[in-house]
Amino acid sequence: MAKGFTLWFTGLSGAGKSTLAQRVRDILLERGLKVEVLDGDVVRQNLSKGLGFSKEDRDTNIRRIGFVCNLLTRNDVVAIAAAISPYRAIRDENRKLIGRFVEVYCKCDLDTLKERDPKGLYEKALKGEIKNFTGVSDPYEPPEHPEVMVDTAAEDVDTSVAKIIAALEEMNYIPAAAGGEYSADEEETIKRRLQDLGYI
Amino acid sequence: MAKGFTLWFTGLSGAGKSTLAQRVRDILLERGLKVEVLDGDVVRQNLSKGLGFSKEDRDTNIRRIGFVCNLLTRNDVVAIAAAISPYRAIRDENRKLIGRFVEVYCKCDLDTLKERDPKGLYEKALKGEIKNFTGVSDPYEPPEHPEVMVDTAAEDVDTSVAKIIAALEEMNYIPAAAGGEYSADEEETIKRRLQDLGYI
């Protein structure tokens, strides 16, 4: 049985893609899966040095990540990509190439991102000091039907991580946690049912 | 036990890297291993579009292949690279990064390559129509201590393939062929011994 799949995080800079990718990786490693994270910054260093932020260069960068994710996925590795990947068409190209593809939309409103702004990038972008900055001076096309949507402005990291893991379990991409016969969502459903019935 | 390793073919254009890579891949797949071939041409299309043939661009290209080979190798996949990779230092960088690294030097003298020249590249290069052509107008630094050396001007494809497979078996990177308890070399030794003893 194929074990590999690609978990593709998309969203604006600062929306939490890298943080969630690392947290999910740790959980999947604990469950005995093989996992590689392809983070936007690492990829720009190792696969895409020299590429800029024009639409063409962004597309090339995202296709390259897709190419590597595909090599990993078809060899039973979970490939986790964390890259802004602003254009829907190129994400969908990768989905088509890879097949076993789970898109996670890291939603976060611009006001929250401007407030967080740990690297001061949004401030610079708003002043015009950084050009082609996604969400400010460059487009972002949110997924229309992502497998998972997390809203990192409204929910904490643990909640987002739990949502992603539950979705992967439901889609049978990963086995349920050792010792637990039910996924988090299933357990919640069971608990509510038991409460409704007056048992707990 | 780690199953992955990188089999790195280096040599001039037309020396037989791609042919040998594919033949070895087929044998390793038959033995139940996971294998990916990263061929120079495919890589130039999918990972290195836009790069040229200056020393800097060649180095970047070879480092990228090394980066991907490393991701595959550490996840139990046999990564087979087939790229001219003319510079010793960059090949050695990849060796250091990857660890489980087997270098195959595809040797072939220039006269033979000029005769073969199926794509007419050597002819064009000698006329100066292609610049930076390795072996003609650009340097090639042969490996000093390759794990395997094949001379494709002097030996046929089957011989070269057998040498590579025997070396991988001897280094315990791959199990011996199903049904055979001994590697080809070991069998040869046993056969000679039996002959010496007068048994066969």
Per-run averaged pLDDT (10 residues), chain A, 200 residues = 94 97 97 96 92 95 97 98 98 98 97 94 95 96 98 97 97 80 63 65
Give CB contacts under 8 A, 24+ apart, made by A18-25.
Answer: A18/A82, A19/A157, A20/A82, A20/A104, A20/A106, A20/A150, A20/A152, A20/A157, A20/A160, A20/A161, A20/A164, A21/A80, A21/A81, A21/A82, A23/A157, A23/A161, A24/A80, A24/A161, A24/A164, A24/A165, A25/A80
Q: Identify whether the C-beta of residue B11 lies closer than 8 Å to the C-beta of residue B106.
A: yes
> Which pLDDT value is given to residue B190?
63
> Which pLDDT value is given to residue B200?
63
Mean pLDDT of chain B: 92
The Cα–Cα gap between B102 and B39 comes to 16
Q: pLDDT grade, residue B176 (50/70/90)? A: confident
Of A46, A76, A77, the CB nearest to B67: A46
Q: Provide the whole-model pTM.
A: 0.88
Closest CA to B65 of A182, A64, A116: A64
Q: Rounded mean pLDDT of B59-63?
A: 96
ipTM above 0.90, yes or no: no
Torsion of CA B25, B28, B30, B35, to 10 degrees: -60
Residue A10 bridge partners (DSSP)? A105
Number of independent structural domains in chain B:
1
Whether A46 and B36 lie within 8 Å, measured CB to CB: no
Q: Rounded mean pLDDT of B11-36?
A: 97
> Which pLDDT value is given to residue B197?
64
Q: Is A63 on the interface with B (CB under 8 A)?
A: yes
> Which pLDDT value is given to residue A187?
66
Indicate the pairing of strand B5-10 with strand B78-82: parallel
Q: Look at the alpha carbons of A156, A157, A158, A163 in this order and tell me if their dihedral is positive or negative.
A: positive
Whether B47 and A63 lie within 8 Å, measured CB to CB: no
Q: List strands edge to edge, sheet with B5-10.
A: B35-39, B78-82, B5-10, B101-107, B148-151
Q: Is A2 on the interface with B (CB under 8 A)?
A: no
Q: pLDDT grade, residue B126 (50/70/90)? A: very high
Q: Is A42 on the interface with B (CB under 8 A)?
A: no
The Cα–Cα gap between A187 and A184 comes to 5
Is A85 a catalytic site residue? Answer: yes
A174: domain range? Answer: 5-196
Q: Rounded mean pLDDT of B117-146?
A: 95
Instruction: Check which CATH number belongs to the domain holding A56 and give it.
Output: 3.40.50.300
Q: Which residues of A touch B51 (CB under 8 A)?
A: 50
